């Protein structure tokens, strides 16, 4: 039986919510972004008017202002966005219990069992009208028989539109799109495909699973299935636990980092936040990755597989510093830095002990981390801290508690 899956995406979510609360901003080029004074200068969202000037998400504020001198920068209000996100999901739950969020502003809905004689396009139109009436913002909805194409559909028509992709028309509508438009084709995969002159989703589908497996290993057949419309992954019921692939955090620093000592302070701060999040999830990292952005905004990342999984901040930070020292010669100062614990495993995973490690010392370190978690839970994150973080008032007291990114297994590379 063919499924009917919707992907609903709130149009320019943060910017739309800000304009709803500040009507004077309507029709003007606005962007939601960080503080210029504190150097958190990245565009998080922008209005269509700002987009027309070439302003892009992820762009530095100074670059955006060069493109659009009249740009109005609004600071983000995450509590407000979460409230809208919850209301948005409650509307979707009226149509199916199978509502799977994909970020704060979008979600899949499987309406196969709740169509009652209506088409997927009709349900999508009804959802758009309800969101517009009840929340005051617009959504775009893609309709298809699988999650990958439904997501593509919601991206193809914006704003406030419904795009229906069928098993009859997908070769004409989906295959001409750039391969990078498809969920699962990240920056690294896109670069490798371009080297092989694979440009479109159709190019990807025509290669076949065997060749893609020779290029990308076990992920190759998955890419083929996505491009060929063969994705059969289910839409999970709302609230169902999702397997987590990685937990990461990054920050734009209040001043450029000039040396290892500066980087160590920031990496330890970030490591504490992701280690705590991993412990909350009951997970440990088997891979540590760092990402570095120079002050000319060029960037690179490096990663290493651990001999032993961990969710301890000092261990994560130590590995991050080893990666940095081995790969960065400080030819230019660093503008931002990030660290990620990846390929997570449950904290109940059996571990091969080493005769070269002091296991008693490690158990004490784990107990200390749990005690710190308890203190911070009761009295706040800043109630207790490591001495190293107090060596620099700017770098050591960054608020990294609200910025963790959690990537689920199944999407992205």
Tens digit of pLDDT for each residue in 62-73? Answer: 888 899 999 999
Could you tell me if 156 and 181 lie in one domain?
Answer: no
Mean pLDDT of the chain: 86
d(CA 156, CA 360): 56
Could you tell me if 14 and 89 lie in one domain?
Answer: yes
Task: Note the pLDDT of residue 120.
Answer: 95
Q: Is the pLDDT at 49 greater than 50, yes or no?
A: yes
Give the residue with greater pLDDT, 1 vs 78: 78
* Alpha-carbon 242 to chain mean position: 15
Task: Note the pLDDT of residue 235.
Answer: 92
Could you tell me if 222 and 272 lie in one domain?
Answer: no
Q: Is the pLDDT at 399 greater than 50, yes or no?
A: yes
Range in 138-142, 194-198, 291-295 with the lowest mean pLDDT: 291-295
Residue 132 counted as domain residue: yes
Tell me if 160 sits within 8 A of 140, measured CB to CB.
Answer: yes
Give the residue with greater pLDDT, 85 vs 295: 85
Give the residue with greater pLDDT, 390 vs 80: 80
Residue that finishes a domain, picked among 145, 167, 189:
167
Tell me if 340 sits within 8 A of 248, measured CB to CB.
Answer: yes
Could you tell me if 271 and 191 lie in one domain?
Answer: no
Dump pLDDT digits (tens) for 90-106: 999 999 999 998 888 99
Q: What percent of the chain has pLDDT over 90?
A: 49
Alpha helices by DSSP H, listed for 257-302, are 260-281
Residue given tokens 């008032």 in the structure block: 393
Residue 312 counted as domain residue: yes
Task: Note the pLDDT of residue 68.
Answer: 93
Task: Note the pLDDT of residue 238.
Answer: 81
Of 72, 85, 79, 80, whose CA–CA distance to 139 is shortest? 85
Task: Note the pLDDT of residue 412.
Answer: 40
Could you tell me if 52 and 106 lie in one domain?
Answer: yes
Task: Note the pLDDT of residue 345.
Answer: 86
As given in the structure block, the two tokens for residue 305 are 């597989």
Residue 403 counted as domain residue: yes
10 Å Cβ neighbour count for 98? Answer: 22
d(CA 5, CA 112): 7
Q: Is the pLDDT at 16 greater than 60, yes or no?
A: yes
Residue 76, Ramachandran bin (φ over 0: left; ψ between -120 and 50: alpha; else beta): beta
User: What is the value of pTM for the model shown?
Assistant: 0.67
Mean pLDDT of the 248-253 span: 83
Dump pLDDT digits (tens) for 179-221: 999 988 887 788 899 999 999 999 999 999 999 999 988 888 9
Dmax (CA) for the chain in angstroms is 67
Could you tell me if 113 and 15 lie in one domain?
Answer: yes
d(CA 40, CA 396): 16
Q: Is the pLDDT at 20 greater than 90, yes or no?
A: yes
CATH number at residue 335: 3.30.1490.100
Residue 413 counted as domain residue: no
Residue that finishes a domain, picked among 239, 272, 291:
239
10 Å Cβ neighbour count for 213? Answer: 16
Angle at alpha carbon of residue 238, lines to 119 and 344, rounded to 5°? 125
Residue 107 counted as domain residue: yes
Separation in Å, CA 401 to CA 81, 120, 137, 408: 17, 40, 29, 19
Give the residue with greater pLDDT, 239 vs 306: 306
**What are the catalytic residues?**
106
| Three-state secondary structure call for residue 209 | helix
Of 70, 8, 67, 19, whose CA–CA distance to 45 is shortest? 19
d(CA 184, CA 181): 9
Residue 72 counted as domain residue: yes
Residue 160 counted as domain residue: yes
- At residue 37 the predicted structure's pLDDT band, cuts being 50, 70 and 90, is low
d(CA 150, CA 141): 8
Task: Note the pLDDT of residue 365.
Answer: 80
Q: Is the pLDDT at 282 greater than 60, yes or no?
A: yes
Separation in Å, CA 389 to CA 84, 303, 312: 35, 24, 16
Burial of 187 (0-12, 13-18, 19+ CB in 10 A): exposed
Could you tell me if 75 and 180 lie in one domain?
Answer: no
Of 182, 120, 127, 178, whose CA–CA distance to 151 is shortest? 182
Q: Could you list the residue range(s) of the whole structural domain that residue 290 is in?
A: 244-408
Burial of 74 (0-12, 13-18, 19+ CB in 10 A): buried
Residue 313 counted as domain residue: yes
Tell me if 247 sits within 8 A of 282, measured CB to CB.
Answer: no
Task: Note the pLDDT of residue 409.
Answer: 44
| Three-state secondary structure call for residue 49 | helix
Could you tell me if 188 and 162 lie in one domain?
Answer: no
d(CA 312, CA 14): 34
Please report which helix (H) or strand (E) contains residue 140, including its range: strand 139-144
Of 10, 3, 315, whose CA–CA distance to 139 is shortest? 10
Could you tell me if 199 and 309 lie in one domain?
Answer: no
For the chain, what is the domain count? 3
Tell me if 205 sits within 8 A of 175, measured CB to CB.
Answer: yes
Q: Is the pLDDT at 38 greater than 60, yes or no?
A: no
Residue that finishes a domain, picked among 140, 167, 194:
167
CATH number at residue 163: 3.30.70.270
Q: Is the pLDDT at 346 greater than 80, yes or no?
A: yes
Dump pLDDT digits (tens) for 378-392: 776 666 777 777 666
Dihedral sign, Cα of residue 208, residue 212, residue 214, residue 220: negative
Could you tell me if 18 and 139 lie in one domain?
Answer: yes
CATH number at residue 220: 1.10.150.20
Could you tell me if 19 and 161 lie in one domain?
Answer: yes
Task: Note the pLDDT of residue 76.
Answer: 84
* Alpha-carbon 297 to chain mean position: 20
d(CA 126, CA 121): 9
Give the residue with greater pLDDT, 184 vs 9: 9
Could you tell me if 126 and 161 lie in one domain?
Answer: yes
């Amino acid at each position: 039986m063919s499924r009917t899956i919707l992907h609903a995406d709130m149009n320019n979510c943060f910017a739309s919510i800000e304009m709803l609360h500040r009507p004077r901003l309507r029709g003007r080029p606005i962007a939601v972004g960080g503080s210029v004074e504190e150097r958190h200068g990245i565009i998080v969202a922008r209005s269509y008017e700002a987009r027309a000037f070439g302003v892009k998400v992820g762009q530095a504020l100074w670059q955006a202002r060069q493109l659009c001198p009249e740009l109005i920068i609004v600071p983000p209000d995450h509590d407000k966005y979460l409230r809208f996100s919850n209301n948005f999901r409650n509307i979707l739950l009226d149509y199916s219990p199978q509502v799977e969020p994909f970020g704060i502003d979008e979600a899949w809905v499987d309406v196969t069992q709740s169509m009652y004689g209506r088409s997927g396009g009709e349900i999508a139109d009804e959802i758009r009208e309800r969101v517009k009436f009840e929340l005051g913002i617009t959504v775009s909805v893609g309709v298809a028989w699988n999650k990958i194409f439904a997501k593509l559909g919601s991206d193809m028509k914006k704003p406030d539109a419904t795009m229906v992709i069928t098993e009859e028309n997908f070769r004409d509508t989906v295959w001409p799109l750039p391969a990078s438009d498809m969920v699962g084709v990240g920056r690294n995969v896109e670069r490798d495909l371009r080297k092989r002159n694979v440009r479109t989703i159709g190019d990807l589908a025509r290669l076949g699973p065997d060749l893609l497996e020779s290029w990308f290993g076990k992920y190759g057949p998955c890419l083929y299935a996505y491009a060929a419309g063969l994705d059969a992954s289910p839409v999970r019921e709302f609230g169902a636990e999702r397997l987590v692939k990685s937990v990461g955090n990054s920050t734009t620093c209040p001043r450029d980092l000039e040396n290892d000592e500066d980087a160590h302070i920031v990496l330890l701060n970030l490591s504490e936040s992701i280690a705590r999040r991993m412990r909350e999830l009951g997970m440990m990292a088997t891979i540590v990755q760092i990402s570095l952005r120079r002050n000319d905004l060029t960037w690179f990342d490096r990663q290493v597989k651990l001999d032993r999984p961990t969710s301890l901040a000092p261990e994560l930070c130590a590995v991050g510093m080893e990666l940095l020292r081995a790969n960065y010669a400080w030819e230019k100062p660093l503008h931002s830095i990030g660290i990620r614990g990846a390929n997570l495993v449950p904290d109940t995973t059996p571990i091969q002990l080493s005769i070269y490690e002091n296991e008693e010392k490690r158990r004490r370190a784990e107990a200390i981390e749990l005690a710190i978690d308890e203190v911070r839970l009761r009295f706040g994150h800043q109630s207790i801290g490591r001495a190293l973080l107090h060596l620099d008032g700017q770098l050591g007291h960054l608020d990294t508690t609200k910025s963790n990114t959690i990537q689920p297994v199944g999407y992205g590379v």
